[in-house]
Amino acid sequence: MTSRVRSNQRTLRILLALCIGVLPTLRAFAAPAIIPRPPDIAATSYILIDAKTGQVLIEENADEALPPASLTKIMTSYIAIEEIISGRLTLDTPVHISEKAWRMEGSKTFVGVDTMVRAEDLLRGIIIQSGNDASVAIAEHIAGSEEAFADMMNQYAEVMGMQQSFFMNSSGLDTEQYYNTMSARDLSIIARETVNKHKDFYPIYAEREFTYNGITQTNRNSLLFRDRNVDGLKTGWTDAAGYCLVASAERDGMRLISVVMGTASTEARAIETQKLFTYGFRYFETHQLYSEGQVLTNVPVWSGEQSVVDLGVTEDVFVTIPRGQGENLTAAVDVEEAVSAPLVGGQIMGVVNVTLDSDLIYRGDVVAMQDIEQGSLFKRFIDWLTLFFSNLFS
């Protein structure tokens, strides 16, 4: 890595040569390589994102609030897993099955009325079998009633920035009076949280079947049976919602999450999802731009015990770019021109900007990588004189 320095009266800019990757961008990619336009997707709404960075690769009507049908259960299972992680619920906790849960229509886990069922069995019933009865049972256990649980769902959605989501039940089953609403973008948010935050539980989404009460049911996500890269997440269908699918796949170190809503059939939702995955994996890639604790450069320090301080990043930085464009990245670190001691390790010193063909790809803080104490009185006086005459004749 090479660098050159260009300074002005206020800011020191250090240009870095990059040969690595790119991170999430708020704007469209600008790459010299030609990327074909995205495929036409026969769905009311859809989105494709990089699960690592959150970068949106393709979207259409992604913010439209639509009935999600059983995709609702991603939130239901998410809250149940959060309760387990917090210690308020265990996999072995016995859950009472109310008459309301037992009488639920649609897809079922076939739990018995007035029985006790382990929370783990209910969780698998929700995720694998899409059991409406299991969803209501776990909701009632956690919140006291399904209505109270729906309020919890709305609170979680608000915290996660799911702006087009509103829940009235835990199953996604539509009624003549109401139905839940979610957008494709909101579903990508909760799916990404599930993949990245619930790593110990996420493998349940890849299980192809589950047997409860002597009844074996297969996972409704048909891509689990025909694409080895796919390992989740959830299907949904009602008359109002059409055929929906939230799916995730991993290939060569890159994980994508897709959402399709309002397709015409079970086969259509699988085909449209595969089109999204094929496009994403073929034309984009995920790279690690920086590693936690990596030093990017160093700058002079005035009035300090040491004369320079290392600048770096505090966490891993991953980026999404058009495939093969890593060598076209450039980075610049901007810091205040006159850096003076004392400094504390972790103190924000400036920013690093990464660009691809003049488009800003990533902007993040750079910090001091070590403490720098003030130097002796003599050292500070000499540095003050040096700065004074430097500014005088500059």
- Segment holding 290, helix H or strand E: strand 284-290
Pinpoint the alpha helices (H) of the chain.
Answer: 72-86, 99-102, 119-127, 132-143, 146-159, 184-197, 266-283, 377-393
pLDDT of residue 341: 85
The structural architecture, per CATH, of the domain 60-229 is 3-Layer(aba) Sandwich (3.40)
- Evaluate whether the domain defined by 3-27+289-393 bears CATH number 1.25.10.10: no
Tens of pLDDT along the chain (394 residues) come to 323 233 333 467 787 755 443 333 333 344 456 789 999 999 999 999 999 999 999 999 999 999 999 999 999 999 999 999 999 999 999 999 999 999 999 999 999 999 999 999 999 999 999 999 999 999 999 999 999 999 999 999 999 999 999 999 999 999 877 889 999 999 999 999 999 999 999 999 999 999 999 999 999 999 999 999 999 999 999 999 999 999 999 999 999 999 999 999 999 999 999 999 999 999 999 988 999 999 999 999 878 888 899 999 999 999 999 999 988 899 999 998 788 889 999 999 999 999 988 889 999 999 999 999 875 665 565 656 666 656 666 5
Q: What pTM was estimated for this model as a whole?
A: 0.88
Q: Which of 73, 108, 234, 275 is catalytic?
A: 73
In degrees and rounded to multiples of 5, residue 40 shows phi and psi of -75, 130
Sequence-distant (≥ 6) Cβ neighbours of residue 378 within 8 angstroms? none
pLDDT of residue 31: 42
Q: Which of 222, 209, 195 is nearest to 124 (CA)?
A: 209
Q: Which of 45, 52, 70, 183 is catalytic?
A: 70
Annotation marks residue 70 as catalytic? yes
pLDDT of residue 4: 29
Annotation marks residue 130 as catalytic? yes
Report domain extents, the chain.
3-27+289-393, 60-229
Q: Which of 77, 107, 130, 135 is catalytic?
A: 130
- Rounded (5°) CA angle 183-189-192: 140
Q: Which of 186, 181, 180 is nearest to 163 (CA)?
A: 186
